Amino acid sequence: MWSVDPSEESLKRGAAAVQDAGLTAVVTLGPGSAERLPFRDEEFDLTVGVMLFHHLVEVTPALREMGRVTKLDGKLLIVDWGPTAHLLPFAIEHRVEDFYTPRAVEKMFLETGFGATVEQHPMWYVVEAVKV
């Protein structure tokens, strides 16, 4: 299992959490961004983005890149905050427009060539897509 983050501080915190959980043999952390993943084409059966989209200036390049590293018939799974999440007390300040509606996310998936199932919850959503 791999996890990437452009923030050195986040990687340090992640490494500590992985070590505390005793998962260093199965989890690898490294520098990277959703728009430029440091992996080969079609390397993974499952590509996951958790609470990621609201940090991106543009989601479509990240979706394309996540699709690139996902094997044919592999899955993409996205979990993120919905539009009402701007009301939460985040450590980093966010604007209303940082958060996407599930409908907007579904449209982005369709525009990048993925069919997607969107499950909406009061403050967050889950998207599951298969690369075909």
Domains of the chain and any CATH numbers: 1-31 (no CATH), 33-130 (3.40.50.150)
User: Could you read off the pLDDT of 20-66 as tens digits, one per residue?
Assistant: 999 999 999 999 999 999 999 999 999 999 999 988 988 999 999 99
> 64-67 long-range contacts, Cβ below 8 Å, gap at least 24?
64/112, 65/34, 65/35, 65/36, 65/37, 66/34, 66/37, 67/112, 67/113, 67/114, 67/131
Q: Tell me if the pTM is above 0.85.
A: yes
Q: CA 112: distance to chain centroid?
A: 15
Q: Compute the C-alpha angle 48/13/84, nearest 5°.
A: 55
pLDDT at 52: 92
User: Could you read off the pLDDT of 100-131 as tens digits, one per residue?
Assistant: 888 888 899 988 888 899 999 888 999 999 98
